[in-house]
């Protein structure tokens, strides 16, 4: 009978130990579940923070792109205006040059008439006439100088436009009044 009682006490003690171990494991499981839930919540907060920062960065990039596009568009309009003005100046210079060339031709013709004996052929042909040759050379040089000047003006304007575009793309943006970045 004592043996039966000892066995019963042993069974009760074993049941209590198993119950205690079960309680400890339950607490550990509950703690692990809470830690996992906290980790998921922190991860969700981190992902939301990343999403917010990404949206802000995307907004800033799009604003900067819009600023670049507006700057380049304004620059293109200014460049077109300057090229039109340079072309108009070149056309005006060509008209003035044509007028001067006509005046030179008239003076050369007058000089030839005055140097020739009345009623006789000129002693020197027009192609060998030093005044005519000089007038022709100067006229051609003036024409070529006009063409080169027009090209140089357009190239200078285009180069300055390119520099402004580059500066707009590489210089940090100026803060806009009232904006917070």
Q: What is the pLDDT of residues 40-72, one digit of tens each?
A: 999 999 999 999 999 999 999 999 999 999 999
Token pair for 7: 């066995």
Q: Is the pLDDT confidence value at 124 over 50? A: no
- What percent of the chain lies above the pLDDT cut of 90? 58
pLDDT at 28: 95
Instruction: Tell me if residue 175 falls in helix, strand or coil.
Output: coil
Q: Contact 146/93 with Cβ under 8 angstroms? A: yes
Q: Contact 75/162 with Cβ under 8 angstroms? A: no
A 10 A CB-CB count for 132 gives 19
- Mean pLDDT over all residues of the chain? 86
Q: What is the pLDDT of residues 64-94, one digit of tens each?
A: 999 999 999 999 999 999 999 999 999 999 9
pLDDT at 118: 54
**What is the rounded average pLDDT of the residues 2-19?**
90
Q: Contact 181/60 with Cβ under 8 angstroms? A: yes
**What is the rounded average pLDDT of the residues 15-27?**
93
pTM (two decimals): 0.58
């Amino acid at each position: 009978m004592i043996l039966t009682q000892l066995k019963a006490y042993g069974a009760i003690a074993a049941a209590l130990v198993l119950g205690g171990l079960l309680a400890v494991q339950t607490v550990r499981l509950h703690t692990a579940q809470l830690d996992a839930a906290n980790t998921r919540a922190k991860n969700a907060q981190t992902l939301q923070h990343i999403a917010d920062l990404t949206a802000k960065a995307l907004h800033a990039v799009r604003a900067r792109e819009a600023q670049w596009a507006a700057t380049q568009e304004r620059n293109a309009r200014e460049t077109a205006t300057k090229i039109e003005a340079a072309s108009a100046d070149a056309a005006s210079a060509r008209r003035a040059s044509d007028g001067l060339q006509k005046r030179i031709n008239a003076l050369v013709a007058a000089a030839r008439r005055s140097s020739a004996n009345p009623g006789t052929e000129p002693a020197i042909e027009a192609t060998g006439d030093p005044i005519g040759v000089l007038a022709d050379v100067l006229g051609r040089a003036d024409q070529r100088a006009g063409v080169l000047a027009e090209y140089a003006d357009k190239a200078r304007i285009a180069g300055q436009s390119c520099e402004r575009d580059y500066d707009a793309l590489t210089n940090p943006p100026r803060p806009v009044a009232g904006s917070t970045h």
